[in-house]
Every structure is written in structure tokens, then in C-alpha cells.
């Protein structure tokens, strides 16, 4: 049984009590969240966000570089003016190197090794340093609006708490 077979039933249940059909695209809080794809994280729940409040961009690690295309659209076309970037404890990105994943892909696929070697998986070695470095990168990026409020956070998967580190 595939996981997606439950989607229609869950969605019908959600739709029965749905009162958000009037919302427009621009986020009410003018806020964009960047966080990890990690299955243990429910950003709306742990940050108290409702439908309509904020853009939520998620990728492996909560990497700022990987979020840039989305952030440009969020700011220039949909009016957000604040970015909160989260990484989290026990993140997979702390446990491997791009080189290691390149060698897995070379052994498991027929893709040309040069193409594989070009993929930067954006792993990191120190959690708080990675948050600070991503916040700095966003603040200095000329494609990000200069007036943007950028903050950096750690989410603790063990406790459900957040702490601000930048």
C-alpha cells in the first residue's frame, strides 16, 4: 500500500471544516520561513502559524542558497520583508559529506561521474555556525532586499523548542 492512498480521505476531512478559501496569496505576516524537510518538523505547529501567515520554504538542511529562487519571488512579487531561517538538532546534513554521497550515486546510478561531482549537497559540520553563516549570506546577498529582517534559529527535535542564534 502506498502512502498517498490516504490523501483523498484526509483531505476530505480537512475540507469539511475549511474556512480559509477567501485568503489571498501574499502572506499576512510578510514573513518567509526557511527550514529543513525533516519529517519531525511541523513548522506551522511549533511556530503557531496559521494558513495565510507565512511562506514556508523547506529543503534538506534548511539551506539558504537552495531557497534563493523562492525568496526572490516571495519578496519581489508577494511582499514578504522578514526571513526566519531554521536548522535543527540531529540533522542528517551533519552526518555525511557531498563526496560520500557522490560515491554512493556513482555506484548506484549510471549518471556520468562529472555531473555527479558538480552537485553540492550543502551539508554542514557545525549546527549553530551553519545557521549564522546562512543568515550572513542572506544579509549580504544583493538579490535579497536590503531592508529585510533576517533571524537565525535552531529547532530542537528532542524537545520541540526553538532558540535564536542569529
How would you class 88 by CB atoms within 10 Å of its CB: exposed for 0-12, middle for 13-18, buried for 19 or more?
buried
Asked if 88 contacts 41 with a C-beta cutoff of 8 angstroms, the reply is yes
Please state the closest distance from residue 115 (CB atom) to a copy of itself, in A: 9
Please state the closest distance from residue 87 (CB atom) to a copy of itself, in A: 14
36 is in an annotated binding site: yes
Cβ nearer to a copy of itself, comparing 90 with 129: 90
CA distance 31 to 19: 22
88 is in an annotated binding site: yes
22 is in an annotated binding site: no
Asked if 135 contacts 151 with a C-beta cutoff of 8 angstroms, the reply is yes
CA distance 46 to 77: 27
Cβ nearer to a copy of itself, comparing 133 with 151: 151
53 is in an annotated binding site: no
Cβ nearer to a copy of itself, comparing 29 with 136: 29
Please state the closest distance from residue 145 (CB atom) to a copy of itself, in A: 8
Torsion 56-95-65-151 (CA) sign: positive
Cβ nearer to a copy of itself, comparing 25 with 114: 25
Please state the closest distance from residue 160 (CB atom) to a copy of itself, in A: 4
Rg (CA), the chain: 18
CA distance 30 to 23: 14
Annotation: binding site = 36, 38, 88, 91
Annotation: binding site for Zn(2+) = 36, 38, 88, 91
Amino acid at each position: 500500500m502506498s502512502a498517498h492512498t490516504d490523501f483523498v480521505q484526509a483531505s476530505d476531512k480537512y475540507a469539511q471544516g475549511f474556512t480559509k478559501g477567501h485568503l489571498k496569496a501574499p502572506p499576512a505576516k510578510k514573513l518567509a520561513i526557511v527550514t529543513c524537510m525533516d519529517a519531525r518538523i511541523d513548522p506551522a505547529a511549533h511556530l503557531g502559524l496559521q494558513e495565510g501567515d507565512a511562506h514556508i520554504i523547506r529543503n534538506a538542511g534548511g539551506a539558504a542558497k537552495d531557497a534563493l529562487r523562492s525568496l526572490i519571488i516571495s519578496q519581489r512579487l508577494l511582499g514578504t520583508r522578514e526571513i526566519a531561517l531554521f536548522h535543527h538538532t540531529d540533522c542528517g546534513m551533519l552526518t555525511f559529506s557531498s563526496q560520500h554521497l557522490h560515491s554512493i550515486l556513482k555506484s548506484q546510478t549510471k549518471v556520468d561521474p562529472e555531473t555527479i561531482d558538480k552537485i553540492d549537497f550543502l551539508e554542514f559540520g557545525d549546527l549553530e555556525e551553519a545557521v549564522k553563516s546562512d543568515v550572513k549570506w542572506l544579509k549580504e546577498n544583493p538579490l535579497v532586499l536590503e531592508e529585510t529582517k533576517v533571524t537565525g534559529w535552531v529547532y530542537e527535535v528532542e524537545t520541540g523548542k526553538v532558540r535564536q542564534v542569529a
